[in-house]
Structure 1
Amino acid sequence: MIPDPEHNPLDDFDRITTQVRIVTPLETMFRAAEETLLATRPEGFEVEEIGRLALEWLPEAEKEQAVNELLYTYWEAQAADRETWARYEATGGAA
């Protein structure tokens, strides 16, 4: 439901929680996987290993949402990249 302050004003709980950043299960597993790899493989690892380990650790019920999150994140990165290149080209290559 979209907040409608005119008809349904936000209560104190809603006002406070709208400012709280949501941490997804995938993000939690990514952090745990990165920490584990940093601790167990200080010589280094490929960044993809973090994601693979995070997906492996996720409960089955969370995996579909995690894949959606990954796809959306990829799309956001592509859109940001296009916008950055458009600004760069619009300024004639000036930073």
Structure 2
Amino acid sequence: MSDLTPGFPLDDFDRITSQVRMLSPLETMFRAAEETLLATRPEGFEVEEIGRLALKRLPECEQEQALDELLYTYWEAHAADREMWARHDAGGSL
């Protein structure tokens, strides 16, 4: 039995896959878009193009969740940057 699934024993598949990080639809499309652009435009591209292509390829029903994910990810980066600069301003190192 598992603490996460009381009353339901885990089989080998469940035990193995419970350790695998699940990718969101946006992450999956982002990786696919990057691979496409790397293959079709080896001379280079802007990072925004990856995100725009990934969003465009997502089914419409998943686009709102993807936008939420992007906004949350931006906020995490913004907060981490602010914390880093606060440590620096307090005399710490970057």
- What is the TM-score with the length of structure 1 in the denominator? 0.79
The number of equivalent residue pairs is 89
Identical counterparts, % of pairs: 74
Distance of 1:44 and 1:10 partners within structure 2:
50
- 2:54 maps to a residue whose letter is A
- 2:79 maps to a residue whose letter is A
Q: Counterpart in 2 of 1:38?
A: 38
Greater RCO between the two (CA within 8 Å, min separation 6)?
1
Q: Which runs of 5+ in 1 are unaligned?
A: none
Deviation per residue, 1:37-60 (Å, 9 max, x gap): 000000000000000000000011
Equivalences for residues 28-67 of structure 1 within 5 A: 28-67=28-67
Q: Which runs of 5+ in 2 are unaligned?
A: none
Q: Does the residue aligned with 1:12 lie in a helix, a strand or coil?
A: coil
- What is the TM-score with the length of structure 2 in the denominator? 0.80
